[in-house]
């Protein structure tokens, strides 16, 4: 009873931590890109202020965001960060209860895994099209597991609804339909199991009826969700508007080539292929450690055989003397290697074959001596520490936790480890069909999460809510139970693999945790020196940011307040789309019009329409440009080359920017002049 009580108390503490930990940075940092851009789309949702391509390709995310703007205090960045941050809390808690209650994973390891997953959420929570995608994927995973293992038809239908709705969360979620492979795989496992059980009966089980039934239930849910959501869009906007917007989504790949399906797929596969460099070398270290332990154990066995006729005390003394002698020889060899300058023989391709062989033999001798003297367990621990030292020396990751360099390589190898464990569990004959099913689901979700994104495997790194506990729990099982590996009747100790796996997981958890404490997204990197506030802007009240950003936004907000421009339409250019939300100025057509995905032809059409409206007495939008564009407009490329933030290509990029030239022509035609400028922004009226 007492043990159960303590477990319940501990579980409640874990739940509270997982609920509030995702909110730790809601008042930290100001992003001029994605955060404010998405909040502006939520607040000003519709074809009037948004590009229809992005409205419809992420429609459900925008609709949910629009509902959030109706909540108390949603008119501030702090309030919206709170509400969107709760989606991460929901993700972590849902995965926590699923792993603990349904999959029966250890409580503490699941909690640590969820903390690691939260820490790896590098993406701003304002990007609801990502976090809603992860949430619906997680719910779909749970429903598929319950529906298949407990034969619940409604769960399979609901799983299909989740995947169908996800297409409206983000159109590039279409590949998630590949989760049906898990259904088919489980049905095949079920068929094999029943076939073995009913092998002596006349009527044997059949695969196709079960497979077809499960597939149809999932498909019905998928189509039902699409029918309801498309029906609503048709009633509100017209299906023609949706088709036109999605059609431009496909057409944009002519300019934004990184959004092409082949390019995105190559980006994902390329990351894994590149990181095979580390996998191969770690694998060699593991096999080398096993071989060295094997040699040292064989040497010890031969010594035992030679001393078998001696009395116990004499045998112990001889063994101790041999260990001391071998240890001294090992130390002497290590000193010799150091004095000869082991590193001076690098690069290896410049050294003669005999030199390489001599150095490798000496290193092997030193390590074997260590293995014999220390024993298998201590040697394996030392091997794990040596691996960490080697990774550090090779620049595997950094301690600059405000950048992705601190976690990119560990995270990619962590994803590869998750997929490896899943494949092993799927193929391992002694695993139950339920364990194989969860392995298939983990494998598919890790693989499919990054499909449809132009950011490589970063989306999968952001969606570790089941994968992280899965890796930790099965790794713990390996560290606890498995004793040896057999290769052609030769028993090799698995202790080196255990030592290196434990060291790698410690490295990952440390790096992930430090990254989670330090990193907040801002313009594709991390926030630094958040020690200032903007006092004259209610949207930014309570938000800590760098002194430079506070100065820029304070000056611009003062100008907007003095001129009474809040609520007036604005045209933004120069990677500053967040100003639409921060200044409460709806975009005239698209707040991030300088993105490659927004076509020159579409911008030209909208600018011409605005010009015609202005001539008819329509509202005159304010134009706010990033300072470098204004410098080019005022003094040409020569002025820009002197003040281009150290980027020598800036002048050429602006000169060749066709959409900027369109905006310049628009301002000249309609008599725009600079009315305010600071170190970052220039306002034209």
**For 136-170, how does the pLDDT look when each residue is reduced to its tens digit (9 = 90+)?**
999 999 999 999 999 999 999 999 999 999 999 99
- Name the band, by pLDDT with cuts 50, 70 and 90, for residue 343: very low
Q: Whose CA is closest to 268, among 347, 175, 203?
A: 175
- pLDDT of residue 242 exceeding 80, the answer is yes
Instruction: Provide the percentage of residues in the chain whose pLDDT is more than 70.
Output: 83
Cβ neighbour number for residue 174 with a 10 Å cutoff: 13
What string of H, E and C letters represents the secondary structure of 84-131? HHHHHHHHHHHHHHHHHHHCCCCHHHHHHHHHHHHHCCCCCCCCHHHH
Hey, what's the torsion of the CAs at 650, 654, 656, 662, to 10 degrees?
Answer: 170
- What mean pLDDT do residues 371-385 have? 74
Q: Which of 228-232, 329-333, 353-357 has the highest mean pLDDT?
A: 228-232
Q: pLDDT tens across 428-440, in order?
A: 998 999 999 999 9
In the chain, what is the greatest distance between 2 CA atoms, to the nearest angstrom?
111
- Name the band, by pLDDT with cuts 50, 70 and 90, for residue 261: confident
Beta bridge partners of 211: none
- pLDDT of residue 333 exceeding 70, the answer is no
Backbone angles phi, psi at 577, to 5 degrees: -65, -25
DSSP symbol at 539: G
Cβ neighbour number for residue 487 with a 10 Å cutoff: 10
- Name the band, by pLDDT with cuts 50, 70 and 90, for residue 297: low
Q: pLDDT tens across 161-201, in order?
A: 999 999 999 999 999 999 999 999 999 998 888 877 765 55
- What mean pLDDT do residues 485-500 have? 70
The DSSP secondary structure of 5-74, one letter per residue, reads HHHHHHHHHHHHHHHHGGGTTTTB---TTHHHHHHHHHHT-STTTS-HHHHHHTHHHHHHHHHHTTSTTT
Q: Residue 679 class from Cβ within 10 Å (0-12 exposed, 13-18 middle, 19+ buried)?
A: exposed
- pLDDT of residue 309 exceeding 70, the answer is no
Angle of CA points 577, 685, 611, to nearest 5°: 85
Q: Whose CA is closest to 570, among 590, 558, 588, 553?
A: 588
Which range among 45-59, 224-238, 346-360, 628-642 shows the weakest confidence by mean pLDDT? 346-360
Domain ranges of the chain: 2-30+76-276+398-522, 538-684
- Name the band, by pLDDT with cuts 50, 70 and 90, for residue 1: low
**pLDDT confidence of residue 251:** 75
> CA neighbours within 13 Å on the CB side: how many for 200?
1
**pLDDT confidence of residue 11:** 92
Q: How far apart are CA 527 and CA 402, in angstroms?
A: 7
Q: What integer best gives the mean pLDDT of the chain?
A: 86
Q: Whose CA is closest to 87, among 53, 124, 55?
A: 124
Cβ neighbour number for residue 668 with a 10 Å cutoff: 10
Which range among 79-93, 109-123, 413-427, 488-502 shows the weakest confidence by mean pLDDT? 488-502
**pLDDT confidence of residue 644:** 47
- Name the band, by pLDDT with cuts 50, 70 and 90, for residue 494: confident
Q: Whose CA is closest to 529, among 515, 545, 518?
A: 545
Which range among 13-27, 254-268, 408-422 shows the weakest confidence by mean pLDDT? 254-268
Which range among 70-74, 224-228, 358-362, 564-568 shows the weakest confidence by mean pLDDT? 358-362
**pLDDT confidence of residue 345:** 44
**pLDDT confidence of residue 342:** 53
- Name the band, by pLDDT with cuts 50, 70 and 90, for residue 347: very low
Q: How far apart are CA 234 and CA 245, in angstroms?
A: 13
For 413, the token pair is 């190898």
Q: Which residue has the tokens 């992930």?
A: 512
DSSP symbol at 494: S
Which range among 175-184, 295-304, 313-322, 385-394 shows the weakest confidence by mean pLDDT? 313-322
**pLDDT confidence of residue 384:** 85
Q: pLDDT tens across 449-480, in order?
A: 998 888 889 999 999 999 999 999 999 999 88
**pLDDT confidence of residue 160:** 97
DSSP symbol at 407: T
Instruction: Provide the percentage of residues in the chain whose pLDDT is more than 90.
Output: 60
CB 619 within 8 A of CB 613: yes
- pLDDT of residue 488 exceeding 60, the answer is no
Which range among 191-200, 348-357, 479-488, 607-616 shows the weakest confidence by mean pLDDT? 348-357
Helix (H) or strand (E) holding 328: helix 312-340
- What mean pLDDT do residues 60-84 have? 96
**pLDDT confidence of residue 515:** 96
Cβ neighbour number for residue 650 with a 10 Å cutoff: 19
* Range list of H helices, 170-275: 180-197, 207-236, 239-251, 261-274
């Amino acid at each position: 009873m007492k043990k159960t009580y303590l477990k319940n108390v501990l579980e409640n503490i874990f739940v509270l931590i997982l609920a509030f930990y995702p909110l730790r940075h809601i008042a930290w940092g100001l992003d001029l890109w994605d955060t404010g851009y998405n909040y502006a789309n939520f607040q000003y949702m519709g074809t009037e202020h948004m590009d229809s391509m992005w409205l419809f390709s992420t429609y459900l995310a925008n609709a949910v965001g629009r509902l959030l703007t109706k909540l108390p205090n949603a008119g501030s960045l702090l309030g919206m960060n709170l509400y969107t941050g709760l989606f991460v809390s929901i993700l972590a808690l849902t995965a926590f209860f699923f792993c603990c209650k349904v999959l029966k994973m250890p409580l503490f390891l699941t909690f640590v895994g969820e903390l690691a997953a939260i820490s790896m959420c590098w993406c701003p929570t304002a990007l609801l099209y990502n976090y809603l995608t992860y949430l619906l994927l997680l719910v779909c995973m749970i429903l598929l597991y319950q529906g298949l293992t407990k034969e619940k038809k409604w769960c399979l239908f609901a799983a299909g609804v989740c995947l169908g709705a996800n297409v409206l969360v983000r159109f590039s979620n279409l590949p998630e339909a590949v989760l049906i492979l898990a259904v088919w795989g489980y049905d095949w496992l079920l068929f094999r199991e029943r076939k073995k059980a009913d092998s002596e009966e006349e009527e044997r089980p059949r695969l196709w009826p079960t497979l077809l039934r499960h597939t149809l239930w999932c498909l019905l849910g998928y189509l039902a969700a699409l029918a309801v959501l498309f029906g609503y869009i048709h009633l509100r906007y017209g299906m023609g508007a949706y088709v036109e917007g999605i059609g431009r989504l496909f057409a944009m790949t002519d300019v934004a080539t990184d959004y092409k399906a082949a390019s995105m797929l190559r980006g994902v596969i390329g990351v894994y292929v590149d990181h095979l460099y580390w996998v191969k070398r770690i694998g060699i270290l593991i096999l080398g450690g096993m071989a060295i332990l094997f040699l040292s154990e064989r040497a010890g066995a031969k010594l035992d055989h030679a001393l078998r006729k001696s009395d116990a005390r004499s045998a112990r003394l001889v063994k101790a003397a041999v260990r001391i002698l071998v240890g001294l020889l090992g130390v002497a060899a290590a000193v010799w290697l150091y004095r000869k300058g082991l590193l001076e023989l690098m690069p290896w391709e410049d050294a003669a074959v005999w030199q390489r062989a001599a150095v490798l033999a000496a290193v092997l001798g030193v390590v074997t001596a260590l293995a014999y003297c220390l024993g298998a367990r201590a040697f394996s621990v030392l091997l794990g520490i040596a691996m960490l030292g080697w990774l550090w020396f090779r620049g595997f990751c950094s301690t600059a936790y405000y950048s992705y360099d601190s976690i990119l390589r560990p995270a990619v190898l962590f994803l590869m480890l998750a997929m490896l464990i899943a494949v092993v569990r799927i193929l391992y004959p002694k695993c139950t069909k339920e364990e194989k099913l969860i392995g298939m689901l983990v494998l598919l979700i890790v693989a499919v999460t990054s499909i449809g994104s132009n950011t490589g495997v970063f989306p999968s790194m952001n969606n570790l809510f089941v994968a992280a506990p899965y890796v930790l729990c099965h790794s713990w099982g390996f560290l606890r139970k498995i004793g040896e590996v057999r290769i052609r009747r030769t028993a090799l100790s698995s202790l080196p693999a255990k030592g290196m796996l434990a060291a790698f997981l410690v490295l990952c958890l440390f790096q992930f945790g430090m990254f989670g404490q330090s990193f907040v997204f801002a313009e594709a990197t991390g926030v630094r020196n958040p020690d200032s506030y903007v006092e004259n802007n209610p949207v930014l009240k309570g938000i800590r940011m760098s002194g430079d950003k506070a100065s820029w936004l304070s000056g611009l907000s003062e100008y907007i307040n003095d001129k009474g421009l809040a609520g007036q339409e604005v045209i933004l250019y120069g990677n500053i789309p967040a100003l639409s939300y921060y200044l409460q100025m709806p975009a005239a057509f698209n707040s991030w019009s300088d993105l490659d995905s927004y076509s020159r032809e579409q911008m030209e059409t909208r600018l011409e329409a605005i010009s015609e409206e202005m001539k008819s007495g329509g509202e005159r939008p304010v134009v706010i440009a990033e300072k470098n564009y204004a410098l080019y407009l005022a003094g040409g490329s020569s002025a820009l080359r002197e003040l281009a933030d150290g980027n020598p290509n800036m002048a050429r990029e602006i000169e060749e920017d066709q959409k900027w030239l369109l905006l310049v022509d628009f301002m000249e035609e309609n008599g725009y002049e600079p009315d305010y400028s600071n170190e970052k922004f220039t306002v034209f009226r």
